[in-house]
Each structure stands twice: as C-alpha cells, then as structure tokens.
C-alpha cells in the first residue's frame, strides 16, 4: 500500500516519511521545495516536485504510483505571515486541500491523513486540557485555513466515502537525527538558539500570566513522536474504511516558557536568563492537549520528554551552524520580534 506524502521534504514531512517506511510502507514524496530540501528525502523514495494547486499533476502522480492513501502536510504555517498575507494563506492552505481532494476523487484514493493544528482552538475559554470537541475559534488566518481544511475533509468523507484522520499538532520540537532538524527560526526552541547565537537574551512576552511561574504554558511534542502518530493513523485508515477521526497530537503535559529556557540552558551550557517584555495580544495563558482520544483510537502515545526534544534540537542546530547553514536564518530570527521565548501560535508548526 503506497502512501503519498505531500510536503515530505520538509522538517516534519521528512520524519513522517521515515516513520511510514519503518512500518514497511512504500512512500512517494510530492513537494514544491519552497521550504523543503531534496536532501531530506531518501535516495530510494520517488520525489516529484510540484504544487498541490496543480490538480492535474497530482491526479497523474496518484495514478502512476498506484497510491492508496495520502498524508497531506504541504502548506504554509507561519501565524505572523498569515496575518500579513491572509489571501496567500487561503490560496495555499484551503485551495490546496480542495485541489488535493478533487485529485484523490479522480484517482479513487480513499484514505487521507490531514496535517491540522492546535491553532484551530484559538484561545480556549475552559480551564484544563483542551479536548477535541471544544468550540474552535482560531485567532489567525493560519488557524482559520486549517479549520476550513478539516471541514472540507470531513465533508468529502461523507460525500465520497473518504476515510480520514485530522491530526491537530501542538508545539513540535526536536529532531530524530541532526540532518533532519528544523531549518527555520520561527518555532520557540530554534528562536531561542538564534537569540543566543546573536549574543542576545531570549525574550519572554508576559511574566504575569495565571500560571505557576507567570509565563505561558504549552504542550511540546517531539517530531519523532509526531511522525509515529501519522504512521499509526495510516495503519488505522488502512484497516478501517469508515474512519472519521479528529485527534490532538500532544503529550498531555504542559511546559512553561521558563521551563523551556531551563532545558535549553542544560542542553547548551549557556545563560538563558531572559529579557521580559509586555504581553502580546492573542497569547493564551495555557494550551495543553487532552491526549486520551488518540491513545484510545490509535493506541499511540508520546515517548520523548522535553529534555530529549531540546537536546536533539541543539544537536541539529550545532550541525547546521558548523555547515554554515544556521547563520543567516539564525540572525534573521534573532533580529526579529519573532525571536521570542513565547510563541503566538499554540500549535507550533504543522
């Protein structure tokens, strides 16, 4: 049973490709390489360069490779960019899903794992863990596009008999190996690394939240665990043509910004004493996944803790720095307002 992974040359996608192959599943990667890298794709995995907006090419690829299921990860993911360029995000993320669903229908492919995001929740009103049935009120165009994608997938499931799993990622971090590390400086941990490389303290936006140490609390998940969640979803869809799942992918454990900085200090040996800044609009005090549904439905749970995430992320950052790749990205991240220790995106990066 061959799986097509759109966005399979990206940070998360490359890990998913390896998790599927570890299950013995043939994989084909479809990526426009705008942020992905060919080097991330194993030499024996077919890589087709193209946009998911090209429905004819997608249909051709699905048929040519006899694809039985799709993991859809291609899309744009930066909250700040989505606020500045909302129509661009709607085109890439919403029209991209529509184009893919039509191509799958044309090629009679009836299994889809959809990369969604905890950004669909916005700022949850209830206290405690965020459950999948909470009212979704995304705060950004990015979160809106992910929720719209879920709606389309669910509607297509009813109309076409599509088995699906919408996976809502929380904050993603770490690397299974240094070569697969996050190449951007837009997620919390690499943003902190970028600040430290520039000789500047991490920024903490808000120290007076109603949390144990006054800083925002989020659910962080190792990218390798996220990848095995996709493999578990693929197994479920392969055996259950009626599957219609919407699942959080997180550890069910909250970590504060200051706790992340402590872990970074332990991994790097560097001083991570932060610089405090004012709160930013839209930052919820705490967003932590309820992870019981994914355990019940897929038999999956996260295995890596925060220390493993930070240690592996630091090893990947050092490898990029030694190759000269981290310099430009790190400097840009450190110089920007995004070089903070508090993310406006409760989901991290889908």
Q: Are 314 and 327 members of one domain?
A: yes
Distance between CA 39 and CA 19 in Å, rounded? 17
Domain assignment present for 349: no
Q: Are 200 and 258 members of one domain?
A: yes
* Torsion angles phi and psi, residue 302, rounded to 5: -75, 145
Q: What is the pLDDT of residue 329?
A: 42
Q: Which residue has the tokens 């080097």?
A: 39
What's the pLDDT tens digit per position in 166-185?
Answer: 999 999 999 999 998 887 76
Q: What is the pLDDT of residue 270?
A: 96
Per the structure, the complete domain to which residue 41 belongs is given by 2-171+221-249
Q: Are 271 and 143 members of one domain?
A: no
Domain assignment present for 345: no
CA distances from 242 to 137, 150, 194, 236 (A): 28, 16, 45, 10
Q: What is the pLDDT of residue 325?
A: 61
Question: Is 142 among the catalytic positions?
Answer: yes
Domain assignment present for 298: no
Q: Are 91 and 56 members of one domain?
A: yes
Single out the catalytic residue among 11, 90, 121, 142: 142
- Asked if residues 29 and 48 have their Cβ atoms less than 8 Å apart, the reply is yes
Say how many Å lie between the first and final Cα of the chain, rounded.
Answer: 25
CATH classification of the domain holding 321: 3.90.25.10
Q: Which residue has the tokens 């996944």?
A: 289
Distance between CA 300 and CA 90 in Å, rounded? 32
CATH classification of the domain holding 126: 3.40.50.720
Domain assignment present for 22: yes
Q: What is the DSSP string of 231-300?
A: HHHHHHHHH-TT-EEEEEES-S-EEEHHHHHHHHHHHH----PPEEE---TT--SEE-B--HHHHHHH--
Q: Are 241 and 256 members of one domain?
A: no
Q: Are 258 and 325 members of one domain?
A: yes
Domain assignment present for 58: yes
In 82-216, where do the E strands start and end?
111-117, 163-169, 171-173, 203-205
Q: Are 229 and 192 members of one domain?
A: no
Rg (the chain; Cα; Å): 19
Q: Are 9 and 141 members of one domain?
A: yes
Q: Are 235 and 189 members of one domain?
A: no
* Torsion angles phi and psi, residue 256, rounded to 5: -85, 165
Q: What is the pLDDT of residue 349?
A: 30
pTM: 0.90
Q: Which residue has the tokens 């869809």?
A: 237
Distance between CA 314 and CA 188 in Å, rounded? 12
In 97-162, where do the E strands start and end?
111-117
Core vs surface per residue 160-180: b (16+ CB within 10 A) or e: eebbbbbbbbbbbbbbbebeb
Domain assignment present for 297: no
Domain assignment present for 235: yes
Domain assignment present for 295: no
Q: Are 6 and 50 members of one domain?
A: yes
Beta bridge partners of 166: 114, 246
Q: Are 46 and 190 members of one domain?
A: no
CA distances from 334 to 206, 216, 233 (A): 18, 20, 36
Q: What is the helix (H) or strand (E) element at residue 34, kind and residue range?
A: none
For 29, the 3-state DSSP assignment is strand
Q: Which residue has the tokens 């030499």?
A: 43
- Asked if residues 287 and 219 have their Cβ atoms less than 8 Å apart, the reply is yes
What's the pLDDT tens digit per position in 217-262?
Answer: 999 999 999 999 999 999 999 999 999 999 999 999 999 999 999 9
CA distances from 206 to 105, 212, 258 (A): 47, 13, 11
* Total count of domains within the chain: 2
Beta bridge partners of 222: 173
> Which residues of the chain are modeled with pLDDT < 70?
185, 325-350
Q: What is the pLDDT of residue 92?
A: 95
Q: Are 116 and 188 members of one domain?
A: no
Here the tokens at position 38 are 């060919």
Q: Which residue has the tokens 């979160």?
A: 143
Backbone dihedral region of 97: left (phi > 0), alpha (psi from -120 to 50 degrees) or beta? alpha
């Amino acid at each position: 049973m061959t799986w097509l992974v759109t966005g399979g040359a990206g940070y998360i996608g490359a890990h998913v490709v390896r998790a599927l192959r570890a299950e013995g599943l043939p994989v084909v990667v479809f990526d426009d390489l705008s942020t992905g890298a060919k080097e991330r794709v194993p030499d024996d995995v077919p890589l087709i360069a193209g946009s998911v907006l090209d429905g004819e090419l997608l249909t051709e690829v699905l048929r040519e490779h006899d694809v039985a299921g799709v993991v859809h990860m291609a899309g744009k993911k930066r909250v700040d960019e989505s606020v500045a360029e909302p129509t661009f995000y709607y085109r890439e993320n919403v029209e991209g899903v529509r184009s893919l669903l039509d191509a799958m229908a044309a090629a009679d492919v009836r299994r889809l794992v959809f990369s969604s995001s905890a950004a669909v929740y916005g700022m949850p009103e209830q206290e405690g863990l965020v459950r999948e049935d909470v009212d979704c009120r995304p705060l950004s165009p990015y979160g809106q596009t992910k929720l719209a994608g879920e709606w389309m997938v669910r509607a297509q499931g009813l109309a076409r008999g599509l088995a699906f799993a919408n996976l809502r990622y929380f904050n993603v971090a770490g690397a299974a190996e240094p070569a697969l590390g996050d190449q951007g400086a837009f997620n919390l941990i690499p943003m902190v690394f970028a600040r430290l490389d520039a000789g500047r303290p991490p920024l903490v936006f808000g120290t007076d939240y109603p949390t144990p140490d006054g800083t925002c609390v989020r659910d962080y998940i190792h990218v390798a665990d996220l990848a095995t969640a996709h493999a578990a979803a693929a197994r479920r869809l392969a055996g259950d043509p009626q599957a219609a799942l919407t699942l959080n992918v997180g550890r069910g454990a909250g970590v504060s910004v200051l706790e992340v900085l402590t872990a970074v200090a332990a991994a790097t040996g560097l001083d991570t004493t932060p610089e405090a800044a004012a709160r930013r609009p839209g930052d919820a005090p705490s967003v932590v996944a309820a992870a019981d549904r994914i355990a019940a439905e897929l038999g999956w749970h996260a295995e890596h803790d925060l220390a493993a995430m930070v240690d592996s992320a630091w090893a990947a950052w050092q490898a990029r720095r030694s190759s000269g790749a981290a310099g430009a990205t790190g400097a840009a991240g450190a110089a920007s307002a995004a070089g903070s220790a508090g993310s406006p995106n409760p989901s991290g990066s889908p």
